[in-house]
Each structure stands twice: as C-alpha cells, then as structure tokens.
Copies of this chain bind each other. A is one copy, B any other.
Amino acid sequence: MIDLKRLVRAHFKENSLSKVSTKINSGNFFEDFTIGQKIKHPLPRTITDGDVSFYIALTGSRFALHSGQCLAKEFGYNRRPLDDLLMFHLTFGKSVQDISLNAIANLGYAEVKFPYPVYVGDTVRLETKIIGLKENSNGKSGVVYVHSIGYNQFNEEILNLKRWVMVHKRNKGEMSGINDVPTFAKTTPISEELNIPKADKISTSSTGGDYFWEDYEEGERLNHIEGITIDDSDHTLATKLYQNNAKVHFNDHMMQNSPVGERLMYGGHVISIARSISFNGLQNAQWIYSINSGAHANPTLAGDTIYAYTEVIEKIDHNRADLGLLRLRTIALKNMTPTEVEDARGEDGKYLPNVVLDLDYTVVIPKKPKNKLNKK
C-alpha cells in the first residue's frame, strides 16, 4: 500500500543534502530482520481509567466485569481487571514501530494468550523474537514471523502471541532465498490453571446474560443483532490511543495514492468491535483465554457498519468446577447482516467480499451454579 518508490527517492534525496539528519527511524525492512533476533520495544505504557473509559466509548463494550467495580468484587477480584483486548492493543501497539511500520499487511495471529490479569495502574511493555522469515517470489517483500511477550511492571507475563506480517524489502529484486517458516499450534493449549478467581456467585441480573457453559452446544450459531458504524475519528483515535503508529491508519494524504484510496482501519479495532457486538448472546463469556488464529479477510474503511456472528466450534471442559471454555469463531461482516451470510467463504473457498474478520478464539465462561440462588 505504501508508495515505496517515493520513500526511497526521499531517502536518497535526504542523503544528498548535507545537513539532512539520519536520526529518523524509518522502520525495519525485510532485510533488517534475522531469525533469533530479539527486540525490546520502547515506550512502556501505564494503563489508566482514562484508557478504560475511552475503550468503552470506542467500542460500546458492555462486558460487566470491566464495567463495574462492585461486580468485579463479586467475581472475586480486588479491582476491575482490564478488558483483554484493550490490554492487547496497548501492549501490541509497542511493536509497530519496530516490526510493522513498513508492513504491507498483517497476515495472521496464532497462539495468542492472556495468561495474567492486568489492572488500571499497571505498566505494560513488550519484547519480540524473530522466529521465521520467508522471502516472496516477487522480490519486493517478505513475511516476518515474530513471537512477542508482554510483561507488567512485576515482569509477570500478561500477553504471549505469535504473528506474521508482510513487509517491504529495502532493496527490491535482490533475492536471498530465505524460507524459514515456523509451525503454529492450531489452537492455543489450555492450561491446568486459570488465573481467574472462583466464579460461584455470578449475578446474572448484573451481567445481563442467563446462559452458562452447559447451555451452549457445538455447532450453535449466534447471529448477533447489533451493527456498529465506524467513522474516521473513531478508528484513528483508537489507534493513536494505542500508540500504534503504522502509517496506513493515519495518513490519508499518503493513502490517497494507494489502491484502497484512503486510510485503512487498524484490524485490532475491528476485532474489538466484533467482540463488543458478540456481547449479546455471550454475556457471561467475560474472559478471552486465547486467540487461536485470526485473519483480516478484507479491509475495513471509515463509514462501514460492522456486524458479526459467532459459531461455537468446541466446548472444552476444565478441571475447575466453576469454569469451562468455549472455542468460538466470530465472523465480522461489513454492511451485511449475519442472516444474509450462510458461510464466510464462497464456493471458491475465498472469503466473501463483505467478510472483514475471521477470528478463532477461546473464551472462559462460568458453569451453571449448583444452587439457583444466583439470580437475585
């Protein structure tokens, strides 16, 4: 999407002038990465109540655990834990300037875990190891595979993810032939221990949802009824809040010369909107355990209305008597309602043009309480 010729020309022009500074970080190109390389991303970020309010305003999210302090205490927390996706965006955003500033596309995610709760006041940071490189045959770009781990201020692991990104080559046409692609687990393995307090006093009149783990069945499809239209300021405010500085999201002047002709929405914002829409039907599924895989099937632009439906892929029991897991697939659509779509892919196996997200993830949801006194 980036006009690389122009960037390179600018680069050379810069170097031909005597005093033009070389202190500008123009991001890493494909050739700048090596397998095994480790990167400490700068800008540890303290998360505040301001971020939490902003996230609710951006997404309309209603999961009760993140909305109310009293409810969080009923759930056994001292304080409201952060919405997993808000934490994801604030932590993940740090990697953009080193990994994906010159990205053509975020191709996928795998084995994304949220191992430890994050709270207001915590400071998160991110470190990344390069785990794979694959040159594209066109000689212009390549795919970089990374493994990133996020930490809080106590060095507790709060995020663990793998992703792959297509980035521009600095020197087009010079082939290295590198083709070292890692393998990923199809789903993130489920741990013996869940860092979630005992969930035996769920007030469904507070969470807004009557359904528990036992109530869902594999193959069930939830056609969420809400649609949320996203405007320019929404998605750019979100992306700036996360200090994600990938140019394609911000710079309309540059993007006017790209095939899409305008700013692309940060894919993470689409994930958050889809998750927010999925509330209706999954009210008690308040924890994301993992993102098993994710694909941004088509670009989302300002003005698009996002809809979503969710399929229950798998019911996963756990040794915890109070909690179970559901592996879900949420499909986000633009300008098309869930009832208009039978399958996200057409007969040719390709995503329909209105499909913008295919997210395979696992959530934690309480089991049905033993006594029925929970409904106050």
Interface residues of A (CB under 8 A from B): 10, 13-14, 17, 19-21, 23-26, 40, 42-46, 48-54, 56-62, 64, 67-71, 80, 97, 121, 123, 125, 153, 204-209, 211, 215-217, 219-229, 231-234, 236-241, 243, 245, 247, 250-254, 263, 280-281, 283, 303, 305, 307, 335, 337, 339, 376
Contacts and interface: CB of A to CB of B under 8 A. Distances in A.
Nearest to A334: B253
Given A19-B221, A44-B71, A240-B60, A227 B247 contact: yes
B70 A303 contact: no
Contacts of A335: 253
Nearest to A9: B339
A207 B42 contact: yes
B70 A238 contact: no
A29 to B, nearest CB: 13
Contacts of A71: 44, 123
Contacts of A253: 227, 229, 305, 307, 335
Nearest to A222: B21
A65 to B, nearest CB: 10
B240 A57 contact: yes
A24 B224 contact: yes
Given A14-B339, A232-B231, A97 B222 contact: no
Report, nearest first, the 5 A-B pairs whose CB atoms are least far apart: A50-B53, A42-B208, A253-B305, A233-B233, A60-B240
Contacts of A247: 225-227
A46 B46 CA distance: 20
Contacts of A57: 54, 237-238, 240-241
Contact of A64 (B44, B211, B254): B44
